[in-house]
Structure 1
């Protein structure tokens, strides 16, 4: 425990000292506090994006899903991250360029400039804000799991039981408020070193302790094929059968399409210094996918090891399986290192997510709808305060939703955030879709996805939002609800666009120009705009020629 505490204190100190990293004259504007000055190079961006994308979802939820439900519920994350990077290679450089050219801070800023439509921009902003809550909650669950296995918490008093969660909240809130995006950028270096160290040791050492990989896969197959007493069905899937192909494929594709719609993914990308930095990172980030595959298999190693993940309240909790495996199999000092790796691996993305959600609220709700003349300093102040509120909302998710299958926190957010894909990604290439069609498609997709997710009940706990798979209309197969909602979204958007275009209804004013989507850091137009002190420095759309 002393090693865990020491490393936790180290990253907390680094978080507060991060204000000196790429020091700015002031952090009282969103470019500096929320985007790190937009000048992170390839390696800093690589660590930042790695820390942003590979989260407690990777270190806690995926192995826990493998442990309790098998390949469909857990291993889909590996092809998901492989499919992801070609997708972002295609569109993220364009988003970086137009955002750099116009000073956009959030995806909703871009939508506002592309269609000059406050309502569509608000829809994208609110969706990003809400969808980030369960994702932050997943990070807090990861931290709580580590601290609980390490010996914190109690089993009777509710306040004591959740104390680790509130400790994590306080630490995260403090250094995020102080240092902004620079804090997770600095801590990400420590996080990655610890993660790679622990994974390499675990994947070499632990299988040898349980009889080798034959024993690991044999134990996993036996458990997955056993009958779940609560459902009467097999516990999980060892190798997905024919009836599970759609679920596996839609979970992977839907998650890949959704990930870079989240404000935190865009925030980490926009903090880079050039469009080529984005492309280089899309090429080298798949190295993390290899690590993800190894981490997922640790869930099956835990089955072979006979790991019993039981919470401080005496109830089984699959989310504790990896910390408990480390506690059982490693020496105390290295278990502390492993605990710290998981906890810090949750702190980094939680910080980025809260910053991104706060920036979205400030720029697209507060400034757009409440106080249009807010100064850059006022924006930064509101964003700092909102970053605290965001974490409080995330706590509500943790305390009220079912934590037995925490991977659903991420998948639930994916159902919502994927509905912004047409307005963001498709609009980077064309304005064929009508803004009202995009808004209607978003609304229908959001309602359908939320209702269908609510209707999924966990057969063990009886709680709603107990899963992310539902029947695909017309196919009779189970699939990721997000993809079904997305398909309905597109159909509605196309139908209304055809109608409104036929009626020649105005599609708003485009404040961007074709050249904006190829602008780089040395673009002379950006320098000219900054020298003139126009609306770009305040993040408002500038009219193209």
Structure 2
């Protein structure tokens, strides 16, 4: 998800729509809300109660007779049923930043934000087409990460290393944004995230979840996902009831928002000239989401391909909740909520502070915190496994046992969590968002080597590697030269079309791979052995040890 930093308003507080703002304030700045210590304590109590319940739900050690193994720790033994897969997949894709940034985007830019809803709706059919097939190959050959699959399918160590590094590099800012989402909650209760108290709260939250998930792995995350689903569902119902009771019917709210937007020269519709940007943002974001390692990890953990397909049919329910959260962004705009310039993510927390009693606000903020902590932990696990299996073991310790892999993954997991907190605290929110946009461009460049190769082996492995390099360089360059603008105009003369940068980079990636494949074949460059078609299997670099999972 993204927030372009064009959020309207500045500080919490309901005002009469159309009324002049208080003296000394405008749409871009207002005094901070100052509420008493007793109120903060009430909010803190509700926050701690909700987060504590989530931690207790996941606190269960693995069976004593179960040997440490990456498949058990990172994939839950590939035994997640339909309900667990659905809850964990939805809980991983729909993050706290999603629930904060999408309404913030509606609050700041209007109808263009609806691309996020379209892209989440596109996810279900795309997952059904791609991920069950990848899950079957992974289960058959003992694969855990996307880099494992690339190494086996294409027989290419450089391409597998590029896949692992791209996944880690692109996911780190995504992980950092989960922390940014939680800092928005802290700011809304008057606690500066970069203060000692704010840092302490973030560290304690992550440590609590780390202590639960370190021994339990993905199984603990699956249990917490049930708590998240209940919390988010309850939060939607409660906040919707409060909004309608205070502001009137949805039609009235949209009418108020439309009137305020018209007065400011803004619209909650999608301008016709932005249609190509809207469409490519939706399609590119959906394809990119499939390549993130946390999504692939959950898909690999499902009990079977049929289980994964059945679980995917329920994902639109998560999109429905996201649509309601987007409506809260419209409600905040209609109500005259104001946030600091570039902080549209504060719109919904400000709305909660204004509409809910303090004890209830604390519960709602706790729900948002759990919504961010769960996907953050799954991201950490997926990145730790990529580092251990595809970098540490592949190049430094090829004879490592499965038990050693699990132990080796826990250290990097804690380091990644610490890095995410530092990332979010040391960087400005807008810089973090820009890096996340860049991460989306990067992760999409894995589509040919991973998703396309599930259906064809026509592309040469070296052509895929060079196509990946061209896509990474061109996407990074376009985004950087355009000041991190997500769309660029293409065309000439009187014909111009704004297009998502990641889609342009992917097109160049595929074009290079398609042009070079016949050339490499004509030159007789070896293609490499396809391990998924009865080859030698997944072997570690420099070792004859073949990794096999019973």
Same fold (TM over 0.5): yes
| One of 229, 234, 237 as aligned partner of 1:197 | 234
CA distance in 2, matches of 1:402, 1:34: 32
| One of 362, 373, 385 as aligned partner of 1:336 | 362
Partner of 1:379: 405
CA distance in 2, matches of 1:442, 1:117: 13
How much is the aligned-residue C-alpha RMSD, in angstroms?
2.6
CA distance in 2, matches of 1:68, 1:222: 15
CA distance in 2, matches of 1:150, 1:91: 42
Partner of 2:548: 537
**Are 2:332 and 1:289 aligned?**
no
Q: Which moved more, 1:253-262 or 1:205-214?
A: 205-214
| One of 428, 444, 463 as aligned partner of 2:454 | 428
> CA-to-partner distance for each residue in 1:384-418, whole Å, 9 max, x for gaps?
11112222332343235441497656533221110
CA distance in 2, matches of 1:208, 1:418: 43
Structure 1 residue 477: Cα displacement: 2.5
Structure 1 residue 239: Cα displacement: 0.9
Task: Identify if the C-alpha distance between structure 1 residues 515 and 325 changes in structure 2 by more than 3 Å, giving closer, same or farther.
Answer: farther
Structure 1 residue 174: Cα displacement: 3.3
SS in 2 for 1:75: helix
**Are 2:60 and 1:18 aligned?**
yes
Q: Which runs of 5+ in 1 are unaligned?
A: 228-233, 458-464, 517-524, 526-533, 540-545
Alignment of 1:94-105 (within 5 A): 94-105=133-144
Partner of 1:318: 344
Partner of 2:514: 494
CA distance in 2, matches of 1:351, 1:18: 16
SS in 2 for 1:471: strand
Structure 1 residue 134: Cα displacement: 1.2
Alignment of 1:470-489 (within 5 A): 470-472=488-490, 476-489=496-509
| One of 109, 130, 144 as aligned partner of 2:169 | 130
Whether contact under 8 Å (2:127, 2:290) holds in the other structure is yes
| One of 129, 138, 157 as aligned partner of 1:118 | 157
Aligned residues: 500
**Are 2:300 and 1:258 aligned?**
no
Partner of 1:230: none
Structure 1 residue 162: Cα displacement: 4.3
SS in 2 for 1:19: coil
Whether contact under 8 Å (1:141, 1:165) holds in the other structure is no
CA distance in 1, matches of 2:438, 2:64: 37
Structure 1 residue 57: Cα displacement: 3.1
Whether contact under 8 Å (1:133, 1:394) holds in the other structure is yes
| One of 390, 408, 417 as aligned partner of 1:364 | 390
CA distance in 1, matches of 2:166, 2:496: 29
Structure 1 residue 374: Cα displacement: 1.1
| One of 31, 37, 60 as aligned partner of 2:100 | 60
Task: Identify if the C-alpha distance between structure 1 residues 397 and 75 changes in structure 2 by more than 3 Å, giving closer, same or farther.
Answer: farther
